[in-house]
Amino acid sequence: MDTVSKFQQVYGRRPMVETRAPGRVNLLGEHVDYNQGVVMPVAIDRAVTLAASSAPDGIVTLHALDLDARTSFRISEIDRRCDVEGRPLPLWAFYPAGVAWALQQAGIPIIGIEAVYSSDVPIGSGLSSSAAVEVAFATTWQALSGFSMDKLTLAKLCQRAENEYVGVSSGLMDQFASVFGEEGHVLCFDTRSLEWSTLELPPTTVIVIADSGIRRSLSGSAYNDRRAACEQAVQLLRKVLPGIQSLRDVSTVEFAAYCTYLPPEIARRAEHVVKEIHRVEQAIIALKRGDAPRFGGFMFASHKSLRDLYEVSLPELDYLVEIARGLPGIYGARLTGAGFGGCTVNLVADQSSAQFVQGLREGYRLKTGRETEIYVCKASQGAEARRVNDL
């Protein structure tokens, strides 16, 4: 049942708007977004779909279809993180509540809503299911409340919701990709200048995402430790490179010269970031030339760096990459997202995709005894809300 029909079943009337906000997969540039580097995400054709209408009395009622869970909270009591009866909000509700909080913090008056939503973006897989939820609700509130806001500001407010309300120190890439996605294209997003451009994906390729089945929680993970290590590396390198603002400012040559100023673990973390930023620069050139094999080579190199230097991989992710390396049609593969579980992303020749999927699934089962969910994806359009009467 679609969300419009489900809304009518739950609330007894048709919704006013239906919103779609996609998840994302990052093709290259992992853990560089909070180091002011350039990232290369793609909005995928798996998304959060939300149906909603305005509601009286400033109450937000959420019905999460996938969880079969429901809660309500007052906009005036968002700071308390409690429902209308004073009980703590469930964690899944922090994402829409955080968006309402961030909009209020920005001085945007918002209204109560009734909503149902569903997602086919796997939770905890590194495909930004949380950002898709945030962007879906922000886009819905904009459609229902009528406030004017440019897309980048909306993405930033969704990021603030995740950083300050949910408590996850994520960069802007996830929300940006969900808002700005373009069909058939990869986004090249400069997280320092916030400038962006698009590059067409090689037309004879598809994006294949393989889920390791290992779930992770960013809030309690080593993600924040990696971020702190990067900040520490910048502080130490400033002794010899006083002008640097972030690891973005450190060239591969400079790092080779001065990495001995860093403790071994900090040096490994920084080396990944410095070289990953350089890989992105070279990969953009390859993509402009339509050189899928060269671009794929950078993906393989990225995974090795994430495994050995940043140490955010797991054996299951490594198995998926190594199995993919030996299959027909493969150009490149690597873990995607923060790591510690989740998915790998593969760039594959379109004509070989069915054979590739079968080989990857069988190989993973033989190696681990586990099943892998595999998604053949296309680059999709970013978030949009439509009036139900116009559908």
Token pair for 363: 């190989």
Could you write out the three-class secondary structure of 15-74?
A: CCEEEEEEEEEEEECCCCHHHCCEEEEEEEEEEEEEEEEEEHHHEEEEEECCCCEEEEEE
Query: What pLDDT is recorded for position 234?
Result: 98
Angle, vertex CA 181, rays to CA 249 and CA 340, nearest 5: 60
17: left (phi over 0), alpha (psi -120 to 50) or beta: beta
Query: In this predicted model, what pLDDT tens digit does every residue of 21-37 receive, in sequence order?
Result: 999 999 999 999 889 99
β-partners of residue 64 are 69, 117
Q: Which of 66, 130, 65 is nearest to 95 (CA)?
A: 130
Cβ atoms within 10 Å of 378's Cβ, excluding its own = 13
Residue 148: which residues within 8 A CB-CB, separation 6 or more?
none
**Is the distance from CB of 161 to CB of 153 less than 8 angstroms?**
no
Query: What pLDDT is recorded for position 217?
Result: 55
Positions in the chain short of pLDDT 50: 219
Pairing of strands 112-119, 59-64: parallel
pTM, two decimal places? 0.91
Query: What pLDDT is recorded for position 219?
Result: 42
Cβ atoms within 10 Å of 123's Cβ, excluding its own = 13
Query: What pLDDT is recorded for position 56?
Result: 84
**Is the distance from CB of 207 to CB of 377 less than 8 angstroms?**
yes
Largest Cα span, the chain: 67
Q: Which of 358, 322, 334, 351 is nearest to 205 (CA)?
A: 351
Token pair for 68: 């079969």
Q: Which of 123, 141, 99 is nearest to 46 (CA)?
A: 123
Task: Round to whole Å and give the CA distance between 188 and 25.
Answer: 13
Task: Round to whole Å and give the CA distance between 201 and 17.
Answer: 32
Angle, vertex CA 260, rays to CA 257 and CA 266, nearest 5: 115
Query: What pLDDT is recorded for position 60?
Result: 98
Task: Round to whole Å and give the CA distance between 158 and 154.
Answer: 6
Token pair for 390: 């116009």
Active site residues: 174
- Domains delineated in the chain: 3-196 (3.30.230.10)
Task: Round to whole Å and give the CA distance between 373 and 213.
Answer: 8
Burial track 216-229 (b if 16+ CB lie within 10 A, e otherwise) = bebeebbbeebbeb
**Is the distance from CB of 43 to CB of 65 less than 8 angstroms?**
no
